[in-house]
Amino acid sequence: MTVRRNALRRAVFLDRDGVINAANVRRGRPFPPRSVDELEILPGVREACDSLKSAGYLLIVVTNQPDIARKSASSSDVEAIHRELSRALPLDAIRVCPHDDIDACTCRKPKPGLLVDAARDLSVDLSASFMVGDRWRDIDAGTAAGCSTVFIDYGYTEPRPIAPDYTAKSLAEIVPILLHSERKRKAIGI
């Protein structure tokens, strides 16, 4: 089945920890909450998601959760966190890579598998979409998938992405740029 390009939808792909919920930062590196009790949605995220949703974007969480493979988190704890996020935010989908680097899967960011699979399943135009993340892996995955990229910079003590399209301090800060991009697309009839 062929999908006409103008039938494809736009999406904002969101990393989970550090973009929509607070990461637990230790020694300059982010770690996920271990349970719903530790889950804290970041300030301004609800409003940002509502604005993006109102502008017609699909909101798709794409998250690496290697603690499942490492057996330091259970699938049920991760699923409980995702149920809570889905209840609190207008998300269209949550895609998870439960693997570790050693598994060499196609879904673990920086590989674009999570984005590409979601785009295929939800009829998303990757070239009209954005990937928002707080780590180099997110930005590389977005670039490899053909999305524009937004780096949320927390100053972690780890490698930085090479060339994100935009850099911000929060999801809320980037919303005006994404909405301007949408108005510009409509003005030129794309």
Q: Is-contact 70 32, C-beta < 8 A?
A: no
In angstroms, rounded to a whole number, what is the distance separating the alpha carbons of residues 144 and 168?
21
**Distance of alpha carbon 82 from its chain centroid, rounded?**
13
Q: Which domains does the chain have, with CATH numbers?
A: 5-187 (3.40.50.1000)
Nearest to 105 by CA among 145, 66, 76: 66
| pTM, to two decimals | 0.91
In angstroms, rounded to a whole number, what is the distance separating the alpha carbons of residues 31 and 24?
5
Q: Is-contact 59 14, C-beta < 8 A?
A: yes
> What is the pairing mode between strands 11-14 and 166-168?
unpaired
pLDDT (tens digit per residue) in 34-77: 999 999 999 999 999 999 999 999 999 999 998 898 988 889 99
The per-residue pLDDT for 181 is: 72
> CA–CA distance from 74 to each of 53, 68, 70, 88, 124 (Å)?
31, 6, 9, 22, 30
Q: Is-contact 118 62, C-beta < 8 A?
A: yes
Q: Report the SS3 class of residue 31.
A: strand
Question: What residue has token string 């108005």?
Answer: 183
Q: Report the SS3 class of residue 141.
A: helix
For 148, counting Cβ atoms within 10 Å of its Cβ (0-12 exposed, 13-18 middle, 19+ buried), the class is buried
Question: What string of pLDDT tens digits covers the 190 residues of the chain?
Answer: 454 555 799 999 999 999 999 999 999 999 999 999 999 999 999 999 999 999 999 999 999 998 898 988 889 999 999 999 999 999 999 999 999 989 999 999 999 999 999 999 999 999 999 999 999 999 999 999 999 999 999 999 999 999 999 999 999 999 998 888 766 555 545 5
Nearest to 184 by CA among 10, 3, 7, 53: 10
Cross-strand partners of 97: 64
